[in-house]
Amino acid sequence: MSRYLLRRLVMMLPVVFGISLITFLLAYLLPADPARMYAGPNASVETVNSIRHQLGLDRPFHEQYLRYVWRAFHGDFGYSYHFKMPVWDAILSRVPYTLELTFAGILVELLVGIPVGSLSALRQYSWLDRLSTLFALLAVSAPPFWLGLLALYFLAFKFPIFPLGGAGSFHHLILPALCAGAGGAAWYARMMRSSTLDVVHTDYVRTARAKGLRERVVVYRHILRNAIMPIVTMTGMDIPWFLGGVVLIETVFAWPGVGKLAVDAIHNVDIPLIMGTVVFAAIVVVVSSVITDLTYAMIDPRIRYQ
Amino acid sequence: MRTHIDASEQPIRVLEDADRLPEHQSQLALVWRRLKRDRLALLGAVIVALLVLVAIFADVLAPYDPTVPFDDGLTLQGMPVPSTLPESSQFILGSDSSGRDLLSRIIFGARVSLTVGVLANGLAVTIGLVIGSIGGYFRGWVGALVMRFTDMMMAFPSLLLAIALVAVLKPSLWVIVLVIGLVYWTWIARVVYGEVLSLREREFVTAAVCAGASAGRVLFRHILPHLIPTAIVWGTLGIATNVMLEASLSYLGIGVQPPTPSWGGMIQQGQYYYRSAPWLILFPGLAIMLTVLSFNLLGDGLRDALDPYQRR
Amino acid sequence: MKRLTLFATAMIVVSLALVSCGPQAPEEGSAAPTSPPEPATGEEPQHGGTMVLTYQNDIATLDPAIGYDWDNWGMEKWVFDALLDYDVDMNMVPHIAEMPEVSEDGTVYTFTLRKGVKFHNGREVKADDVAYTITRVIDPETKSPGQSFYFTIKGSEEFANGEADSVEGIEVLDDYTIRFTLTQADASFLNVMALNFSFIVPKEEVEKWGEDFGHHPMGTGPFVFKEWVPGQKLTFVRNENYFRPELPYLDGVEVQIGVTPEVALLRLEKGEVDFLGDGIPPGEFVRLTQDPAWENRIVHAVRVNTTHIALNTQVSPFDDVRVRRAVNMAIDKERIVQLLNGRGKPAVGILPPLMPGYDPNIKGYDYDPEAAKELLAEAGYPDGFSTFIECISVDPEPKLCESIQSDLKEIGIDLEVHTLASSTVINDAGTPGKVPMVWSGGLAWTQDYPHPSDFYGPILGCDSAVEGGWNWAWYCNPELDARELKARGMSDWDASMKEYQEIFQILLDEAVWVPVFHLEDYNAHSDALHGRVRDFIHPVHDIWAENLWKSE
C-alpha cells in the first residue's frame, strides 16, 4: 500500500516540475516589464533598470528558472513584486479562504446532489424526478459568475438576507458556496440517480425485497449504501475542478482566496506570485488525484497489484 | 468548470457485432430512433438549430448594428436606458452602458459564442483524439510519456492557464479559440485513452497487426471509427463547456475585443450598473444559459442514444 | 489600474489646492481663486472617534522608500513625516525641520531639525536618521522607485553605481543639523524633500524587519501603525506623542480591504463606513448626486491630470502633424464626458487647470469632423487609413475607446481597439515603434509635485522617449528641451511660468497628444466625519487623516 502511494507520488514529481517550467516560461513571455510594474509609472527609466538588475530580471531565462527552483527547494518562494511580501505568506494567508470555499462548495454539492439524485431514482419518472432533472440541467448550464451576480442582487441587495460579498463569518460563506456548488450539485444529482438506478435493478436488491425486508431498510441499507460509493470516490477528483471554477466565484464575491490572487498576479506581472499560486494549485491537484487513486485502490484491490 | 451532467470518464461502448440488431435496421437508424424518442434531446436540438440560425442571420434579425452607440442610447447623465417597451420599440431590451442596443448585441453575441464554442471544441477534440490514441495504443515509453504529459496539462489550473496564454498572445477571437482548445483537450484525451486501451486488445486489431498493418493504419482505419461516437458526444457536450469558458474569459476582461459583443463581456461591463440597470446582467446571462443548456440536452441525448446498454 | 487612478485623484486634489506660488517661496501669498468654498461647519473639531475607510485592493507596502501608489502614499502620511510639508493651500511649510538655509548659488541646503520629534518607539529624531533615510532611498538594494529624484544630490549617482560607499552630498553637521549639497541649482529640491520618499524612518526598525518593514511601518507621524491582516484590514491608532500635540483629532483609523466600490457604497449608506477609499462607483454616481440626502456629504475635486490619447510621432501616419491635428479635431470630447456621467471637463491643452503654467486661453482644436476630413485629405489620406489604439481593459476605459473608435470612423479612420492588461499597455507603449495610439485612461501619470517641469520631463521630454520610458508620443524636440531647462532655472516665477505656457502651446500646436478631459473625483463621507474638502481629497496627502474629525 505504502509502496503504491510512494510510486504515485514519485510519478507526480515530473508533473509538478513540468508545470513550474511551463508557468515560468509563460510568465517570462508575458508582454510586460515586471521591473516597470514594480517601480510604477513615475519612476525614471534608470531607476527601472536598476530595479530590474536588483531583481535579477536581466539574467537569461534558464538562469532565472534554475535560481527559482534552487530557492524553492530551500523554502524560499520569492518576494511578490506587487505586495512586497514573501509569496509564501501571501498565498498562505489566502489558502484557508479558498479551502473553506472549496469544502463548503463540495459539501453543498453532496448534501444537495445526493438526496435529490437518489430520490429521483427511487421515484423515477415522477414529477419530482422531472423537476429535479430540469433544475439540474438549468443549474449546470448557468454561468457560475452570473448566478453569483444574480444571487448578490436578489439575496443580498434587494432583500438583504446575506452580506454583499467579502468573507468573515459563516453568513458570508453561504452564497458563494451555493453558487460554487450549484453546477456540481446538479452533476452529483444525476450521477447519484444513475448509480441508484443501477443498483435498484440488481438481483441483490430484488432478493432483499423478496426476503420481505421493509422498504426503508431496503432503501437505506442496500440501495443507497451501494449507490453512494462510486459517487464519494469521485469527490477526490472534484477538487481540481473546483480550483478552476473558484476563481470566478472569488472574483464575484470579493472572496479573499488564492484564485483571485492568481488572476491579479497575472495582471500585475507579479512573476514570483504567479509561480507560487500556479505551482500551489498544481500540487493541490496532484495530491488530490493521488488521494483519489488511493481511494480507488483501497476499494478495488486489483488496482493495487498492477 | 463542470457544464454537463454525465461528464464521467465512462467511454461510449459500441455494439460489437451487427448480429445484435434486427436485420432490417442499421445502427444509425437505431440511434436516430432513440434520439427521436428522447424529448429533451429533441428540444436541445431545436434550440441549437435556432441559435445557429440566429447567429447566421444576425444581420437580418438584429434591429441595429451592435457596435453603434446611439445618442439617445444614454440618458443625459450617461446612464443606460431601460427597455422602451411598450411605449416605442426603440430599445427592446434597453441599452448598455455605451448607449448601444442590448438586443442587437445579444443577437450578434451568438455569433461569437457559437464560433468560439464550435471551433475551440473542434480543436480540443482533434487534439484529444490524437493524443489519447497515441497514449493508449503505444506501449512502452511513448505511451507513458504522452499520458504523463496529459496528466501534467490536466493538473494545470485551466482558467489560469487560459488567462496566462491570452495575456501572452494578446486577446482576439482566434487566440481565444486556440487557447480554449489548448486548455480543454485533456479531458477528451483521457477518455479516448481509456477506450483505446481496451480497443487495442480486440481481435480486429490483432488481426490487422498480423496482416502487417502499420501502427498508423491500425489507428486510423480500425480504431478511429470506434471512437466516432465518443467524438460526437464530446463534440457536442464540449461546445457547452467551451461556450462557458469563453464567457468566463470575457467576464474576466480578456475575451474578444470591443466592440465585438460577447455575452460574458456584456455581463462584465454591466455588473457595475447592477442597481440601476440590472437587465444588463440578466439578458446576456440568460443567453449563455440557453445556449449551454441546449448543447447539454443534445449531447446527453446523443450519449444516451449511442449507448447500447441504456435502459430504455 | 486603481492606484494610478488614485494618483490622478491626488492630482485633482493637488489642483484644488494649487496656487501660483513657487515651491521655494512659502512666504508668497497663496492665490487659489478656483478652490471651492469650505463647508461652513461652524463647529470646533472634536477629539475622538475612529474613522472607517474602505479599499478594494490591498495596500502593497507602507515603506515610504518603496511605496509609489496613490493608496499607500496617503497612508504613509499617517505614519510618517518628512522634513517639509505642504499646507492645505499647497504652500511649502516647515515640518520636522525648519525651512532650510539656501546658499547663494542655490546648491547647498542646510536644514535644522525641530527638537523633540519622536519615533513611535520613543526615540528622538536626529540628523543621522535623515541621512540614513535619504541614503537608503538612493541605495540600489532598496529598489526604490524614487531613486532618481535624489540624483541632484552630489555623489548620489556614484553611490548608486557602487562607485562610492556613501553619498558625498549628505553631511551631518551635528545632532540636529544636516546639509545637502547639490550638483546644480535646483529649486525643486524642496519639493523632493517633501516627497514620500523623504519620510524619515528609524534605522533600528528598518534593520529589524528588513524587507518586511513595509508591513511593519514605524515613523513619527500622527498615527501609529497597529495591525495589518493582509487582504482584510489595517488599523492605526492615535499617536499620543505627536509633535503637534493637538493633532490628530481621531482616535484611530480602520481600513477595510477587499471591499468593492459598490459594496463600500452600500456600507456607507448603512452607516458602517465613513469614507470611500476608491470613490463613488461610476454606476452609482448619478443616483447619489441626485439624492438630496447626500448633498452635503459629497466632496469632489478636479484632478491635476489630463486624460489623453498619445499619438506616436514615430509611427506612420502620425509622423505627419496634419494627421495628428485631424485626429484632434475628430474627437467628440463632450460625448466622452457624458459617458463618464459628466464627471469631468473636456480638456483643451495638455496641462490641467490649477497646474502652474496652465493657460486658460491656449489655442486648441475644436470638434470639427468636416475640417478633420479635409485635413486628412490634404495630408494624403482622402480615404482615411487603418490603425489601432491600446487601451486598458478596466471599466470604463474600453467604452471610452469605443467612442473614440466611432468618432474616427466618421472621418474615415478605421480604428481597432486593443484592450489589454495595464501592464501590457505600459510595456507596449514604451516599446519604440510599436503602438500608434495609446489611451491614457486608467494609466494616469501623476505629478509628484506642483511644477510643470514634472509634467514635461517624464512624459514629453527627449530623455523619456526611450525604451521603457513614459513618453508615449515618442516626441523629442531638443530645442524645446533646452528651453524647458532654462525655464526651470529661472528665478522669476512669473517669467518662468510664461515660458512654460509657450512651451505647452507649441506642444499643442504639434498635436502630440489629443487632450480629452480632466477627470473630476467624487467621493462621499458619512455624517459623522468632518473636515475641509481638501482634508478629504488632498493633492498630495489624499486622505489627510490628521485633520479629519468625528462628531457624536
ipTM of this complex prediction, to 2 decimal places: 0.80
From chain C, pick out residues whose CB is under 8 angstroms from the CB of A94.
231
pLDDT attached to residue B295: 92
**Partner chains of C (3+ C-beta pairs under 8 Å):** A, B
pLDDT attached to residue C121: 92
For chain C, what is the mean pLDDT?
84
Give B67 to chain C, closest Cα distance, Å: 9
**Residue with the larger pLDDT of the pair B20 and A164:** A164
Residue A133 has pLDDT above 50, yes or no: yes
CB A269 within 8 A of CB C1: no
Task: Report which of B269, B260, B255 is spatially closest to residue B120, judged by C-alpha positions.
Answer: B255
Residue in C with minimal Cα distance to A93: C230
Q: Which among B79, B253, B254 has CB closest to C341?
A: B79
Please state the rounded mean pLDDT for residues C369-387. 90
Please state the rounded mean pLDDT for residues A150-160. 84
Residue B231 has pLDDT above 60, yes or no: yes
In this complex, how many residue pairs, one in chain A and one in chain B, have their CB atoms less than 8 Å apart? 152
Band (pLDDT 50/70/90 cuts) for residue B84 is low
Residue B8 has pLDDT above 50, yes or no: no
Chain A contact for B167 (CB, 8 A cutoff): yes
pLDDT attached to residue C30: 31
Identify the three-state secondary structure at position C397.
Answer: helix
pLDDT attached to residue B18: 40
What is the rounded CA–CA span in Å between residue C239 and residue B203? 85
pLDDT attached to residue A290: 77
What is the rounded CA–CA span in Å between residue C21 and residue C188? 13
**Residue with the larger pLDDT of the pair C18 and C484:** C484
What is the rounded CA–CA span in Å between residue A273 and residue C178? 41
Residue A304 has pLDDT above 60, yes or no: no
Query: Does A186 sit within 8 Å of B155, measured CB to CB?
Result: no
CB neighbours (10 Å) of residue C522?
A: 21
Cis peptide leading into residue C398 (ω within 30°):
no
Segment C424-452, tens digit of pLDDT: 888 888 888 899 999 998 886 677 777 78
Please state the rounded mean pLDDT for residues A246-250. 87
Q: Tell me the CA end-to-end span of chain A in Å, nearest whole number.
A: 12
CB B99 within 8 A of CB B71: yes
Segment A170-180, tens digit of pLDDT: 888 888 888 88
Strands C513-524, C307-311: pairing is antiparallel
Question: Which residue has 496564454 as its cell numbers?
Answer: B165
Chain C contact for A269 (CB, 8 A cutoff): yes
Band (pLDDT 50/70/90 cuts) for residue C312 is very high
Band (pLDDT 50/70/90 cuts) for residue C1 is very low
- Helix extents (H) in chain A: 2-29, 34-39, 45-54, 61-73, 87-122, 127-141, 144-151, 170-200, 203-210, 215-217, 225-253, 258-268, 271-299, 301-304
- In DSSP notation, C297-330 reads GEEEEE-S--EEEEE-TTSTTTTSHHHHHHHHHH
Segment C9-24, tens digit of pLDDT: 444 444 333 333 333 3
Task: Report which of C90, C70, C81 is spatially closest to residue C16, judged by C-alpha positions.
Answer: C90
CB C428 within 8 A of CB C517: no
Question: Radius of gyration over alpha carbons of chain C, in Å?
Answer: 23
Q: Which of B203-217, C426-440, C537-551 has the lowest mean pLDDT?
A: B203-217
Residue in A with minimal Cα distance to B249: A248
Segment B256-278, tens digit of pLDDT: 876 788 999 899 888 888 888 88
Chain B contact for A141 (CB, 8 A cutoff): yes
Query: Does C426 sit within 8 Å of A33, measured CB to CB?
Result: yes
Superfamily, domain C305-520:
Dipeptide-binding Protein; Domain 3 (3.10.105.10)
Chain B contact for A11 (CB, 8 A cutoff): yes
Q: What percent of chain C has a predicted confidence (pLDDT) above 70?
A: 91
Cis peptide leading into residue A31 (ω within 30°):
no
Strands C275-276, C50-55: pairing is parallel
What is the rounded CA–CA span in Å between residue B273 and residue B82? 12
From chain A, pick out residues whose CB is under 8 angstroms from the CB of C266.
157, 164
Q: Which of B30-34, B252-256, C161-165 has the lowest mean pLDDT?
A: B30-34
Q: What percent of chain C has a predicted confidence (pLDDT) above 90?
A: 35
Strands C298-302, C513-524: pairing is antiparallel
**Residue with the larger pLDDT of the pair B273 and C333:** C333
pLDDT attached to residue C444: 65
Q: Which three cell numbers stand for residue B8?
A: 464521467
Please state the rounded mean pLDDT for residues C402-425. 87
What is the rounded CA–CA span in Å between residue C176 and residue A31? 49
Mutate to test the interface with A, among B150, B289, B298, B303 (most CBs of A within 10 A): B289
Query: Does A47 sit within 8 Å of C144, measured CB to CB?
Result: yes
Residue B17 has pLDDT above 70, yes or no: no
pLDDT attached to residue A154: 86
Band (pLDDT 50/70/90 cuts) for residue C25 is very low
pLDDT attached to residue B12: 54
**Residue with the larger pLDDT of the pair A47 and A198:** A47
Residue in B with minimal Cα distance to A283: B155
Please state the rounded mean pLDDT for residues C325-337. 92
Residue B102 has pLDDT above 80, yes or no: yes
From chain C, pick out residues whose CB is under 8 angstroms from the CB of B266.
none
Q: Tell me the CA end-to-end span of chain C in Å, nearest whole number.
A: 37
Please state the rounded mean pLDDT for residues A14-31. 85
Bridge partners, C301 (sequence order): C521
Segment C99-110, tens digit of pLDDT: 999 888 888 999
From chain A, pick out residues whose CB is under 8 angstroms from the CB of C68.
39-40, 42-43
Q: Which among C68, C147, C421 has CB closest to A50?
A: C147
Segment C50-84, tens digit of pLDDT: 999 999 888 888 999 988 877 888 899 999 999 99
Chain A contact for B151 (CB, 8 A cutoff): yes
CB C61 within 8 A of CB A84: yes
State which H helix or E strand residue C238 sits in: strand C233-238
Segment B22-65, tens digit of pLDDT: 444 566 777 777 777 777 888 889 999 999 999 999 888 888 88
Band (pLDDT 50/70/90 cuts) for residue C148 is confident
Q: Which among A11, A137, A262 has CB closest to B293?
A: A137
Residue C42 has pLDDT above 70, yes or no: no
Cis peptide leading into residue A256 (ω within 30°):
no
Give C423 to chain B, closest Cα distance, Å: 10
Query: Does A187 sit within 8 Å of B168, measured CB to CB?
Result: no
Please state the rounded mean pLDDT for residues C454-459. 80
Chain A contact for B210 (CB, 8 A cutoff): no
Residue C254 has pLDDT above 50, yes or no: yes
Q: Which amino acid type is present at position B192? A: V
Query: Does B269 sit within 8 Å of C395, measured CB to CB?
Result: yes
Q: Which among B155, B271, B296 has CB closest to A137?
A: B296
What is the rounded CA–CA span in Å between residue C302 and residue C318? 30
Identify the three-state secondary structure at position C344.
Answer: strand
Chain A contact for B272 (CB, 8 A cutoff): no
**Partner chains of B (3+ C-beta pairs under 8 Å):** A, C
Residue C304 has pLDDT above 50, yes or no: yes
Segment C224-251, tens digit of pLDDT: 999 998 878 899 999 999 998 888 999 9
Alpha carbon of residue C400 to chain centroid: 22
Residue C144 has pLDDT above 70, yes or no: yes
Band (pLDDT 50/70/90 cuts) for residue A225 is confident
Question: What residues contact residue A266 under an 8 Å CB cut-off, 6+ apart?
Answer: A30, A274, B160, B163, B164, B167, C421
Query: Does C4 sit within 8 Å of A32, measured CB to CB?
Result: no
Instruction: Residue window 259-298, chain C: list those with CB within 8 Å of chain B.
Output: 262, 281-284, 286-287
Considering only the C-alpha atoms of chain A, give the largest distance between any 2 of them, rounded to a whole number of Å.
Answer: 87
CB A24 within 8 A of CB A273: no
Residue C484 has pLDDT above 80, yes or no: yes
Please state the rounded mean pLDDT for residues B193-197. 83
Give C331 to chain B, closest Cα distance, Å: 15
Query: Does B155 sit within 8 Å of A247, measured CB to CB?
Result: no
Query: Does C281 sit within 8 Å of B272, measured CB to CB?
Result: yes
Mutate to test the interface with A, among B148, B168, B298 (most CBs of A within 10 A): B168
**Partner chains of A (3+ C-beta pairs under 8 Å):** B, C
From chain C, pick out residues whose CB is under 8 angstroms from the CB of B79.
286, 341
Task: Report which of A243, A242, A259, A239 is spatially closest to residue A251, judged by C-alpha positions.
Answer: A259
What is the rounded CA–CA span in Å between residue C382 and residue C373? 7
Indicate the domain borders of chain C. Answer: 305-520
pLDDT attached to residue C22: 34
Identify the three-state secondary structure at position C112.
Answer: strand
From chain A, pick out residues whose CB is under 8 angstroms from the CB of C66.
84
From chain A, pick out residues whose CB is under 8 angstroms from the CB of B151.
12, 15, 289
Q: What percent of chain A has a predicted confidence (pLDDT) above 90?
A: 0
**Residue with the larger pLDDT of the pair A142 and C552:** A142
Give CA torsion, residues B64, B70, B72, B73, to 10 deg.
70
Please state the rounded mean pLDDT for residues A188-202. 79
Residue C188 has pLDDT above 80, yes or no: no
Residue B218 has pLDDT above 50, yes or no: yes
Give B204 to chain C, closest Cα distance, Å: 53
pLDDT attached to residue B3: 54
Residue in B with minimal Cα distance to A145: B248
pLDDT attached to residue B24: 47
State which H helix or E strand residue C257 sits in: strand C252-257
Query: Does C145 sit within 8 Å of A51, measured CB to CB?
Result: yes
State which H helix or E strand residue B293 sits in: helix B279-306
